[in-house]
Amino acid sequence: MNSHRSDFNRRRFLQFAGLSVLGTSVLSSLIARAQAGAPKRLLLAARPHGSIATEFFPQGGSATSFQLPSITSPFEPVKSEMLLFNNLTNPRQEGWAGEHDVGIFAMTTGREGQSIGDGAVGTGVSIDQLLAQSSPLLNGTLKRSVQLAASPESGPGGARHAGLRVISYAGGGITGAMDPETRPDVALTNLFAGVSTGGASGNDAAQARARQLNRAVLDQLVLDASRLKAKVPISQQSKLDEQLSALADLTRQNDTVVTSTAGCSTPTLAPLPGGSAEHAAQSRAMFQLIKGAFVCDLTRVVSFTFAPEQSSMSFNDIIPNEVKNPDGHHDISHASDTGERGAIDKFYCSLFAELLVEMKNTPDGAGTSLLDNTVVAFVTGINDGNGHGMDNMPVAMFGGKSLGLAQGKIVDAGGRTMNDVWTSVSQAFGVSGNFGDPALVKGPLSGVLV
């Protein structure tokens, strides 16, 4: 039943997105290249409130020879694995309402979302979920995908716009919104509980027994949901189908033993410090989990959100030398003084660069790094916190060399949408067809893939 369900979901996703898995088409060589060597991954990451164009994009130089300005300067160590875009548009039609919320929804799904006050919903499927379901390169791991966020549980910017932490959507409106896990310790348990320490130790025997007992629980849960499904009206059965699908995933995870190797081990997380150091520490803890999950091949698809798209987190304690204003990020992003909002975006770039450098320095397969085997997209919902525009989006991509992603250059998008970039990325993962709203996609964007 599980495989049938997976097939059904996959077909449904593909049908909805207008995509298809590449067979022996002209791009089959892409797949062959991608299938060789280490596993391939996708990391979709978002930070809020856009950026400042003059400090994000290189000012001068050429498409392949450029200097990174202030905000993006932390990416200097991974500049040779970096892909920037000139004049890239967030998918949007005249008449769409909403800004931050609909902006981040469109960025990852390529479609219109409806504001629900604290987030957006719609029928769109985000690029990470689409590829997790449909790419032959991303299947077969313990978890089909993982969603993480580093915004705090409460306080400014956390509780207030929690819905805008969501960047992964499985389709189907509200219930398709995939809330990210913000607790590193819980995420650690959820991800690494199945990692065996190897050998025939007593510890392994205990783990095997725990799996056996948990399997019995899961079997009962499937039975309970199936019995209930038989009694509910047809209109309600999809709710239980979704739960059964989730239980199938949990069962697969329970039954899969990942043996620890020299490279793969369960991360050791330091306690979160609280206070002004919390946000960066929480981000770094999530980075440990992302890297660890990729190295252990527990999942090949991760989405990560630094903070909700309309975050009001205060930074005067987090980076006191750069930000004196006690207002939240959202208010500062609307300030005419660009210095402090630039400092906040640079803070996020600096943090994210730490993960990218770590991935670059992590061997992964023969002669390749973890970054080479991972397509990393670093996105946001609007182009500029003050203007809320949707053109010239400050998006950067990294890595993915083994998947054919162009490296160390600036691609002129000429006003085309992010959907065209996602269409190219889909091709790299062996999935053809256009991504997102058909009216807002033209096809693969030249220059994204080599």
Q: If you ran DSSP here, which 8-state letter would residue 293 be given?
A: H
Give the integer Cα–Cα distance in Å for 182 and 166: 11
Residue 221 Cβ vs other proteins, minimum distance, rounded to whole Å: 6
Three-state secondary structure call for residue 393: coil
Site string for other proteins, 288-317 (x = CB under 8 A): ------------------------------
Contact with other proteins (CB under 8 A): which of 94, 199, 271, 274? 94
Residue 154 Cβ vs other proteins, minimum distance, rounded to whole Å: 8
Q: Is 233 in the site for other proteins (CB under 8 A)?
A: yes
Q: Is 232 in the site for other proteins (CB under 8 A)?
A: yes
Indicate the pairing of strand 409-412 with strand 20-21: unpaired
State the DSSP H helix or E strand holding residue 159, giving kind and residue range, or none if neither.
none
Contact with other proteins (CB under 8 A): which of 250, 269, 319, 357? 250
Residue 431 Cβ vs other proteins, minimum distance, rounded to whole Å: 20
Contact with other proteins (CB under 8 A): which of 209, 275, 414, 442? 209
Q: Which is nearer to other proteins, 196 or 237 (CB)?
A: 237
Give the integer Cα–Cα distance in Å for 322 and 347: 10
CB 374 within 8 A of CB 407: no
Residue 12 Cβ vs other proteins, minimum distance, rounded to whole Å: 15
Pick out residues in 367-426 that bind other proteins (CB under 8 A).
388
Distances (CA, A) of 288 to 36, 295, 329, 439, 443: 26, 11, 26, 39, 35
202 burial type by CB count under 10 A (0-12 exposed, 13-18 middle, 19+ buried):
exposed
Three-state secondary structure call for residue 231: coil
Distances (CA, A) of 189 to 184, 243, 284: 9, 21, 17
Residue 176 has which token pair?
């398709």
Contact with other proteins (CB under 8 A): which of 179, 203, 277, 438? 179
Contact with other proteins (CB under 8 A): which of 34, 42, 138, 240? 240
3-state helix, strand, coil in the chain (%, to 5): 40, 15, 45
Residue 448 has which token pair?
């994204």
Q: Which is nearer to other proteins, 39 or 157 (CB)?
A: 157
Residue 252 has which token pair?
């697969």
Contact with other proteins (CB under 8 A): which of 48, 74, 91, 98? 98
- Tokens 């913000």 -> residue: 182
Contact with other proteins (CB under 8 A): which of 205, 223, 270, 277? 223
First to last CA, the chain: 40
Pick out residues in 415-444 that bind other proteins (CB under 8 A).
none
Give the integer Cα–Cα distance in Å for 93 and 91: 7
- Tokens 């479609």 -> residue: 111
Number of chain positions touching other proteins (CB under 8 A): 75
Site string for other proteins, 30-69 (x = CB under 8 A): ----------------------------------------
Residue 406 Cβ vs other proteins, minimum distance, rounded to whole Å: 33
Q: Which is nearer to other proteins, 168 or 423 (CB)?
A: 168
Pick out residues in 263-282 that bind other proteins (CB under 8 A).
none
Residue 174 has which token pair?
């509200």
Q: Which is nearer to other proteins, 79 or 388 (CB)?
A: 388
Q: Is 114 in the site for other proteins (CB under 8 A)?
A: yes
Residue 250 Cβ vs other proteins, minimum distance, rounded to whole Å: 6
Q: Is 234 in the site for other proteins (CB under 8 A)?
A: yes
Q: Is 3 in the site for other proteins (CB under 8 A)?
A: no
Strands, E assignment, 236-356? 258-259, 301-305
Q: Which is nearer to other proteins, 118 or 354 (CB)?
A: 118
Part in contact with other proteins (CB under 8 A); list of ranges 30-38, 93-101, 351-359, 373-381: 93-101
Pick out residues in 312-351 that bind other proteins (CB under 8 A).
327
Residue 139 Cβ vs other proteins, minimum distance, rounded to whole Å: 15
Give the integer Cα–Cα distance in Å for 213 and 324: 54
Q: Is 176 in the site for other proteins (CB under 8 A)?
A: yes
Contact with other proteins (CB under 8 A): which of 39, 119, 342, 381? 119
Distances (CA, A) of 365 to 146, 264, 289, 370, 402: 23, 13, 20, 8, 11
Strands, E assignment, 103-142? 114-115, 120-121
Q: Is 177 in the site for other proteins (CB under 8 A)?
A: yes
Q: Is 231 in the site for other proteins (CB under 8 A)?
A: yes
